[in-house]
Amino acid sequence: MTISSAHPETEPKWWKEATIYQIYPAIGVHQGAWRRCHLDLAIYDSPQDDMGYDIANYERSGQPTLGMKFITDLVINHCSSEHEWFKESRSSKTNPKRDWFFWRPPKGYDAEGKPIPPNNWRSYFGGSAWTFDEKTQEFYLRLFCSTQPDLNWENEDCRKAIYESAVGYWLDHGVDGFRIDVGSLYSKVAGLPDAPVIDENSKWQPSDPFTMNGPRIHEFHQEMNKFIMKDGREIMTVGEMQHATDETKRLYTSASRHELNELFNFSHTDVGTSPKFRQNLIPYELKDWKVALAELFRYVNGTDCWSTIYLENHDQPRSITRFGDDSPKNRVISGKLLSVLLVSLSGTLYVYQGQELGEINFKNWPIENTRMSKLEITMMRSRKSMEKLEGDEEVLEAIALISRDHARTPMQWSCEEPNAGFSGINAEDESKDPNSVLNFWKEALRFRKAHKDITVYGYDFEFIDLDNKKLFSFTKKYDNKTLFAALNFSSDSIDFTIPNNSSSFKLEFGNYPRSEVDASSRTLKPWEGRIYISE
């Protein structure tokens, strides 16, 4: 199965070759990062109703001090209900900022006299996407929490304020790039019509057809890109763009269109979950994950677009638990295998805090009591019309596997940290262990950098033995070079074949010590990964 057949856009850029390390500034993380990395960073002012994604003030000074590149989150689909913009907007129906948000009168009143929301849109956190304001007797739209009112991008004054405050302020403070949160939601369909009924068990329906990748979305991103890149700046932008087709992805990321440099795909992290309801787990095989991973860069084929590669972020569980083996026996080796996979794929590489330590999903924690999982439980109750969740082991099992809480635990700095000590998996211990996941990641990144022509910019990606349920193998090319990767996603030893039995392939990297590997052997040990290069 060939994924690409033409040379993609390969103009060298720092943000293509960089490894971007994501810090989630939650409890036990940002203070440690500041202290250990000499960072002078600030967190947006936030009431923390949605773990910082409800911003009350976009303007907080701070910048890196080690000469490193700094990319900040840009959350501008919505703000906090504590933001001055919204306070003004809700103060009266005649306020100049009233139209900076989506205000609508009730559709009517029910038998008890309660106001009925303007349409049937569902919040991503469950229930109606509308909240009633007693003072002005109107609803405001909020696709997420009730304290996260959506900004009205149709209003030009609102957009200008967003650019000047949320974007321009950080550009003036030396930011090198933006991760654009839910960047596909800015353009809502005019009239905000009712969504089609696809969930007969709920009166609230997904609004995606009217809120995702809407009619003016590309216009808005081009306008913002022009603001960001003015004065000849070379700023990197990466968008969180859900539910985009390959064609839409190309529109977003084509260098000639000047919208985004790259975007995040979700097909590979959503594998094994229902497309209608992520908390419904469905069986999947390695082949399914291979094909899903290929979607990360399929749309780039023969274009001037660029792609990203990642397995973890603040919205995903730990990749070793999800795609490897988090047992004490195989945690380290399968974590290293995932590292081998990532450094061999083309595109900009993202690593999430703790991933480099081989962190796994937390165990023996009452999942129904954790903060974000409570929201997920609320979503399930809304979507499945459940009156009672307790005792539903299948639902709790799904949350336990894929909840984003797993990525939002305190950073595991050392086993002696006050209030959050961690034994076994922590940065201090792993930095001293030459065989740790942390030290292997350092080796893996050195390998990727040394061979960046084919690791970062490689093309003509082709699966070998796609249907194999244990072996993940592929080739890709760059000019006269060919990279061949053979990865064993099982606890068994398995055989593999070098393409065309060519003797020109040289073993360049793997996750077992070289002293334990026979380069001429065609048998992979449990959870072993190898990368060969032929020139």
Taking alpha carbons only, the member of 473, 471, 451 closest to residue 533 is 451
Question: How large is the C-alpha radius of gyration of the chain?
Answer: 24
Give yes or no for a contact between 335 and 435, defined as CB atoms under 8 angstroms apart: no
What is the residue type of 153? W
240 is catalytic: yes
**CA count, 13 A, side-chain hemisphere, 433:** 15
- CA-to-CA separations, 386 to 125, 202, 375, 377, 525, in angstroms, rounded: 15, 10, 14, 10, 46
Length of the chain: 535
Give the C-alpha separation, 360 to 312, whole Å: 11
Q: Which two tokens stand for residue 200?
A: 């007969």
181 is catalytic: yes
Exactly one of 181, 194, 295, 508 is catalytic; name it.
Answer: 181
For tokens 């003072």, name the residue: 135
The sign of the dihedral angle between the CA atoms of 131, 134, 136, 137 is positive
Angle at the Cα of 327 from the Cα atoms of 325 and 328, rounded to 5 degrees: 130
Exactly one of 240, 325, 326, 359 is catalytic; name it.
Answer: 240
| Residue 134, helix vs strand vs coil | coil
Crossing angle of helices 393-402 and 371-384, in 10° steps, is 130
The sign of the dihedral angle between the CA atoms of 393, 402, 318, 287 is positive
Phi, psi of 203 (to 5 degrees): -85, -5
> Strand pairing partners for 505?
none
Give the C-alpha separation, 482 to 55, whole Å: 47
Q: Which two tokens stand for residue 254?
A: 């084509």
Q: Which two tokens stand for residue 487?
A: 């990865």
Give yes or no for a contact between 444 and 340, defined as CB atoms under 8 angstroms apart: yes
List residues with catalytic annotation.
181, 240
